[in-house]
Structure 1
């Protein structure tokens, strides 16, 4: 069964490389493209830590990140943590779950006021002030004659967009990175499965099993 990757670049190619290493032949067709947004950095003295839920925030945040590089940076996943270090954050702390769990982790460490730098579309997080530093704009489309395939869903927005674009849902198996993502897909699919943990590696482990069925 074909494997379809719809996440934005450069993440799409990173996922594709991991998929090939597992013996899969992915079809890369991004349904979003990310672009930086103009933003005005607030007073860094008002925050105890920075929270990043996406590598794109670190990659596209630009010069506005500079006043916050001395603060602890809480990042969801190793990919985001790596992007944070590349942007100049020295004290990077990695969480393996989602943004809410990361905010709880920060609070336990005494960070009561968080600056959440993220995308224009976001989920509110406890104790966090959100500023959009990038946007993920819809682009592209699913192949007209996709046939039977496993589609990787890395976000609820991706799930919604696939639901909008898909033709015959009965031939598509959806592999979602989280239960929240799976909840956004609607009904009528051949199957919907959720990764054991919200990580790209876990999602691909699930994809291997689904592609073999």
Structure 2
């Protein structure tokens, strides 16, 4: 069985790693970036109909400014982000399946003024004619290096599960910096955008059937157990 490498930031890394181990997988890797808060000011909630959020990191690192916005419904990219929103005292409006762009397109059925809370590195969105979006940056990802043990293991290949575009881009940087061979590594990615950002040259790239941790890890498990092409 091929080893599995995970590179998402905490606290997600530990959750995914334990899930993968429970599935019988040999897990390696570590977060390739740390998330830190950015100082920001919340605008008046009266100017908006809701919030648009694509990551649970918004609620982990948004700080006290979030308290000014709890009266607004939150439209979230997925269930995990919705759970984080509820824990932070927000009411969830719509929960997306298939990425933030799909969620925004669904919301385009009516006219809305949305406040997008996001990280410094974020997906560029195409706005429906009915929706206006203002953005506040509340956190950023600080790059970390690929550990020596992981570098030594990746020399002989394996499977890498990628939960985000940021992780995909960081992985490319580290592979190039250390002269690692992409052609020995199979990628399991959480969505088409992540596959695009991962670039070319990998042994194979496979997209999870739905953008969730369980679906991604099930895909990774299949790749670990087979000689994927």
Scaled to the shorter chain, the TM-score interval is over 0.9
SS at match of 1:137: strand
- TM-score normalised to the size of structure 2? 0.87
> What residue is the counterpart of 1:190 in the other structure?
203
1:140 alignment partner in structure 2? 145
**Which residue is 1:130 aligned to?**
135
- Structure 2 unaligned residues grouped into runs of 5+: none
What is the match of residue 175 of structure 1? Answer: 188
Aligned counterparts, 1:42-57, within 5 A: 42-57=43-58
Q: Deviations over 1:46-75 (max 9, x none)?
A: 110011100000111111111211111111
Q: Residues of 2 paired with 1:122 and 1:91: CA distance?
A: 21
Matched, 1:64 2:77: no
- Superposition deviation, residue 189 in structure 1: 1.4
* Structure 1 residue 92, shift from structure 2 partner: 4.4
Any gaps of 5 or more consecutive residues in structure 1?
A: none
Runs of 4+ residues over 4 Å off in structure 1: none
| Matched residue SS, 1:33 | strand
SS in structure 2 of the partner of residue 35 of structure 1:
strand
Equivalent position of 1:119 in the other structure: 119
Alignment length (residue pairs): 212
Partners of 2:74 and 2:199 lie apart in 1 by 35
Rounded Cα–Cα distance in structure 1 between residues aligned with 2:102 and 2:199:
26
Contact kept? 1:85, 1:92, Cα under 8 Å: no
2:197 alignment partner, SS class: coil
Deviation at 1:18, TM superposition (A): 1.6
2:74 match:
73
Note if contact 1:48-1:111 (Cα within 8 Å) is conserved in structure 2: no
